[in-house]
Structure 1
Amino acid sequence: MRQVFVLSAAAALTVAMAAAPALAADVPAPAEPAAPAAPTQFDIAFGVKYTSNYGFRGISQSNGFGVAQGYAEAQFFDNFFYVNGFVSKVDLPTRATAETDVGVGIRPKLGPLTFDLGFIQYGYPGERRFMDPYNPVEYVTPAGAFYGPAILSPRNSEFGEVHASVSAAFNGLTVGAGVYHSWDFLGLGAPATYYNGTVKYTLPAEFLNGMKGNFYASGELGYFQLGTTAARLGAVKLKSYTTWNIGAGYTYENLTVDLRYVDTDLSKKDCFLNSGDPAGFLNGGKSNWCSAAFVATVSLDFTLSGLQQALAR
């Protein structure tokens, strides 16, 4: 599951400029404003990254270890319509070989606001049903009753999610808010809705004293409202929780280095309830997957149009 990884365009704020008439003959007329860039009817954004701990809404999806990730996105009509894909190594109870996501959506603009309305399908190829071998339960069939491992996950954890978000940029400050809803989270039969707010500030160039690149600070506050699993999985009420992260980063051309503090308000027992961390079966039902963590990420991001411009120089 993407950590807050739904690909979105930064909101653009256009300032109209009008040239005032000269008040004296020795006062030069203002320069004409630069012509706006021509809309790009088609582009491709893609990149790779390595993160020291892949988390989804505050919960580790990599058992606290580093993983490699990649993405690609086709953008049409000046990034109004997009189709994207994301892949990441994961370490989950169902032993999926990877996480593979596919998304589609639109990014309409209204004045200083940019909206992102879309759908994501989360996939986990190669997974197997997760069972508890330490606490067998009784199963009753027409042929008779028998005891076996408790089934803790569905056969298939794939799920879909719709989302809507909005962002706006003001002189280096970008603020946003979003809502994400799944009617069958992780195939558990439980509804799930995530609400979040984000903020990012990029330092002005004059603060860098001639240094190339950009420094930024950003943060997110989110609330994940979770429902009850299907009866076949025990009708378990999952624990809703709050998550947050704050960090800073440096971007130079295509390279970004990001350092971030991530945390949730889940207890270790509630974390085990939500995550199914296998370690919890051996330590009294506790998990560290939702605990505070410092995460370092190095990423390389490109666009097809950017590469074409670089080759044309």
Structure 2
Amino acid sequence: MKKLVLSVVAACAVSAAAPALAADMAVKAVKAPVVAAPSPWDIAFGSAIMNDYMWRGYTQSAHRPSVAAYFEPRYNITDTLQLYAGMSAESIKFPNKASAEVDFYGGIRPTVGPVAFDIGFWYYYYPGGDSTYIQNGAITPAFKNASFYEVYGKATWTVNDLIALGGNINYTPSYLGTGAWGTYYSGTAKFTAPGTWFPNGIGAYLSGEVGRQELGTTDVLSVDGFAPVAATKLPSYTTWNVGVGFTWKVFTVDLRYSDTNLSRSDCALLTGDPGASPTGAGGALESRWCGATFIAKLSADLTLGALK
């Protein structure tokens, strides 16, 4: 009996000491996994095909289909400040037979609260132009180098998840290489449909723009074999467009109506449409390059960061 009591006392002593011994044991620290900071660099790129390349109310592709592509590296200084530079290219059909439009651009995109700004520089390069073209069956002198640059500023106010309003201004000292200054300003609006309106990740929007292109006077056009063409005041005009778009993953289908208040004779003067012909009572050339147009565009846009 005495041995049994001693055994019970010993067992109780050991069990009482066990928690103390466990508490005194060293615990090995578990290191938290190291999470790499996201890279400030990203690249946006994409391409598009459209039935007509319309630019500020008139066609750049003679109302024929056009393809486009772009490549844009970006550097995010902070969540609200981005630097960017890019290059894009579009197929065109110019009177002076320039082979393509190649754009080089860059700028800065700061965001202040709900307002996103975009301030930058854009160079339109049109290689391969000629100094003459045929208009209405006659050889006509032309500005061979249509390349020019613009500086621009944009602001977009995201009112809420559905509505965004914007304003833009662009300025060039030599519009399409003619020597005439040009200022374009416009207002934009966009309504994005709630995500519950369409199934299977399909999105939709309604958007529009009203713009004004103010233009100055060209340089004197002097081409060998032709009498100098006097400096000409280019017609200023108003343009607008409205359309709907549908998105799915990286793809967008945009269906848009575009128009201007340019007369057909002013359109012929501004664009140099080779197909312009004298149809009015005064025999002035008239062009349909600036009239009401329907544009259908399919594009794909993505970023390298989204692919990771």
Please give the TM-score of this superposition, normalised by the length of structure 1: 0.78
Greater shift, 226-235 or 251-260, is seen at 226-235
User: 2 CA distance for matches of 1:217 and 1:165?
Assistant: 20
Match of 1:113 among 101, 112, 115: 115
Q: Give the counterpart letter for 1:228 in structure 2.
A: T
Q: Give the counterpart letter for 2:275 in structure 1.
A: A
Q: Give the counterpart letter for 1:183 in structure 2.
A: P
1:11-65 Cα deviation digits (max 9, x unpaired): xxxxxxxxxxxxxxxxxxxxxxxxxxx7751100000100110011011000001
Deviation, 1:205, is 1.5
Aligned: 1:219 with 2:218: no
**Is the Cα–Cα contact under 8 Å of residues 249 and 259 in structure 1 kept in the other structure?**
yes
User: 2 CA distance for matches of 1:248 and 1:134?
Assistant: 37
Q: Residue 255 of structure 2 aligns with which residue?
A: 259
**Is the Cα–Cα contact under 8 Å of residues 135 and 150 in structure 1 kept in the other structure?**
no
Match of 1:238 among 230, 234, 239: 234
Equivalent residue pairs, number: 257
Deviation, 1:126, is 1.3
User: 2 CA distance for matches of 1:135 and 1:52?
Assistant: 27
1:44-99 Cα deviation digits (max 9, x unpaired): 00001001100110110000011111011111125610001110110010111110
User: 2 CA distance for matches of 1:109 and 1:158?
Assistant: 31
Q: 4+ runs of 1 displaced by more than 3 Å?
A: 131-136, 281-284
Q: Residue 293 of structure 2 aligns with which residue?
A: 293
Q: Residue 197 of structure 2 aligns with which residue?
A: 207
Deviation, 1:111, is 1.4
Q: Give the counterpart letter for 2:247 in structure 1.
A: T
User: 2 CA distance for matches of 1:214 and 1:236?
Assistant: 47
Deviation, 1:231, is 2.4
User: 1 CA distance for matches of 2:150 and 2:105?
Assistant: 9
Aligned: 1:69 with 2:68: yes
Aligned: 1:160 with 2:146: no
Deviation, 1:129, is 1.4
Percent of aligned positions that are identical? 39
**Is the Cα–Cα contact under 8 Å of residues 202 and 246 in structure 2 kept in the other structure?**
yes
Q: Which has the larger radius of gyration?
A: 2
Deviation, 1:135, is 9.6
User: 1 CA distance for matches of 2:68 and 2:201?
Assistant: 27
Match of 2:243 among 242, 247, 257: 247
Deviation, 1:155, is 2.5
Match of 1:277 among 273, 278, 301: 273
Q: Residue 195 of structure 1 aligns with which residue?
A: 185
Match of 2:173 among 183, 186, 189: 183
TM alignment of 1:139-150, pairs within 5 A: 150=140
Cα RMSD over matched residues? 1.8
Deviation, 1:112, is 1.2
Ranges in structure 2 where 5+ consecutive residues have no aligned partner: 1-36, 222-228
Q: Give the counterpart letter for 2:233 in structure 1.
A: K
Q: Residue 42 of structure 2 aligns with which residue?
A: 43
Q: Give the counterpart letter for 1:246 in structure 2.
A: V
Ranges in structure 1 where 5+ consecutive residues have no aligned partner: 1-37, 137-148, 309-313
If each structure's helix is expressed as a fraction of its own residues, which one has the higher value?
A: 2
Match of 2:103 among 97, 101, 123: 101
Q: Residue 16 of structure 2 aligns with which residue?
A: none
Deviation, 1:240, is 0.3
